[in-house]
Amino acid sequence: MGNICGKSENEAFTQPGRVLGSAPPQPQRASVPAHVGGPPRILGGGGSPAAQGNSGDTDDARRRAAEAAEARAQAASAKSSGKLGAQLAAQKKQTRNDTLQEISNNERRQRDADEAAQARVHQ
């Protein structure tokens, strides 16, 4: 059996191999510094370290983010999405019992239609 994507010749083995440990030298890696300067910073803070330490800034940012999320949610719910949106809203308003009743009615109608079709075939 052959490899579909492979080459017909074994080009990898046409050259002589090399001895273990005779590989070209690898570049040396730089060591990680033990201490990185500066005070700890808060993600999403301003540019200066003094401005980042204020908890009022983070509270204000959270408040603004919450307001933006509420505005997006209200804008999404306020959009008129046409016929499908109205159907979806009506479906979301249905209770579990309403849904089960609707399914039951659909099954009854389907059974009645099947019985009527069978009666027509046997006549």
> Is the pTM above the cut of 0.75?
no
Separation between Cα atoms, residue 107 and residue 97, nearest integer Å: 15
**Residues 53-95: pLDDT tens digits?**
556 778 888 999 999 999 888 887 766 678 888 888 888 888 9
Length in residues, the chain: 123
Separation between Cα atoms, residue 84 and residue 94, nearest integer Å: 16
Q: Is the pLDDT of residue 51 over 60?
A: no
Separation between Cα atoms, residue 123 and residue 121, nearest integer Å: 6
